Every structure is written in C-alpha cells, then in structure tokens.
Amino acid sequence: MANCFVYSYVLNGKLKYSQLTLEQINDWDDEDGLLWLHLNYNSPDAQEWIKNSDLPDIEKDSLLASRIRPRANRSKDGLFLALRAINLNDSPKEDDMTSVRGYFTKHLIVTTSNHDIDSLQSIANHIRDGFGPKNTGSFIVSLCDHLASHKMNLIDILDDQVTDLEDRILAKADPDLRSDVAVIRRQTVYTRRYVAPQRDALA
C-alpha cells in the first residue's frame, strides 16, 4: 500500500513533531506517543487502511461516509467528531464548506476529509514550526479554534457584501440588486444549515 496519509505527525514522546513514514506508522505502538493521521477518504488506499485498521467499526464507517451531519459521539474508547470547515476563495460558496471528521483517543487521532482543509493545514504548519498541540485535548481545541476563525472570516465577507448592497441602495436603483440579495441569502442559509448543528455538537 502506498503512503496514503496527508499528515502523519507525532505530537509528543521521543519523536515529538516528527512526520512518520508508512513503515513507522505500521510499527507504531501506543507507548510511543500520540499519533495524528489525516487521510483523504476518497482515496482507495486511505479507505483500505481505515477498513483494515483496529479502529471501532462504527468509527470506520463514519470516517469514510460520503455524507455526514455535524455531531459528537463519545464512547468508552474515544470521541468522534464530525464538523464543517470553510475554505474561503474569492467568495463563500456551497463547495467551500466541507466535512472534516475525527476519531480521538489518548494515543491516536485519525482525521479525514475529501478536500484540503485550511484549518488542518494551519495545525500541521504549527507542528512543523515546533509549537503544535501536545495532546488530544489541545488538538481538538486547536481544530475548533481554527474552524471558528474561518467562519468569522466568512461572516466578515457577508457583512462587507451587505454593506455594499446598502451603499448601492442609497446611491441609485440597481437592476442587479435583487439577484445579488438572493445570492447572499442563499449563502447565509447554507452557512446557518451547518453552523447551527455544529454549535450543538460542540455544546
């Protein structure tokens, strides 16, 4: 099997903040420290690794599901989170909001998505720079903090768009105004559809 891991970092222990090879991952033991693995769940190699792993069956299915709502499930062995991430390009669109899932235990973190996630990239950058999360709890806090920060950026964009519409209303009649309002309304509705369940999942 090829190395199917987007990120494969040790967060504590002797190899703290090291990125592991596939061979090292396969030989990893709980006593070696906390391991974070991130995979693209659309990758056949990633799907094979998850299906053949020692993760609980219900978590395997959730990590690989094509669609999943934001939620949090606690078990005796760990915590599963399904959250929504926003990657901002020129403007917020439906395609910019994607699912990020994670199964968290004391010794292992496995996250999956089907797109690059800015929030996870930020965490990986912090790890490479030597000041990333050192345990499972701080990883979850860091992930939620980055996700919230990106949502605030989206809110700022929508706020700027509304301000622009207000200026156009005051300036003169604009034939494109109704269409622009409809676009912002759709963006707001779509964002609310996923932000509200995510808020409840993290409450």
Q: What is the pLDDT of residues 4-26, one digit of tens each?
A: 899 999 999 888 889 999 889 98
Nearest-CA neighbor of 64 among 29, 17, 114? 114
What's the mean pLDDT in 121-135?
93
pLDDT in tens, 179-190: 766 666 666 655
User: What pTM was computed for the model?
Assistant: 0.76
**Phi and psi torsions of 80, nearest 5°:** -110, 135
The whole-angstrom separation of Cα 112 and Cα 19 is: 17
DSSP-derived pairing of the beta strands 35-40 and 5-10: antiparallel
Residue range 64-89: mean pLDDT, rounded: 85
Q: What pLDDT was estimated at residue 69?
A: 85
pLDDT of residue 187: 66
> Quick one: how far is CA 180 from the chain centroid?
29
pLDDT of residue 15: 85
pLDDT higher than threshold 70 for residue 193: no
Share of the chain above pLDDT 90, in %: 44
CATH code: domain 5-150+196-202 is 3.30.460.20
Read off the pLDDT of residues 141-153 as tens digits, 9 standing for 90 and up: 999 888 876 555 5
Domain parsing of the chain, residue ranges: 5-150+196-202
Task: Give the rounded percent of residues in the chain with a pLDDT score beyond 70.
Answer: 67
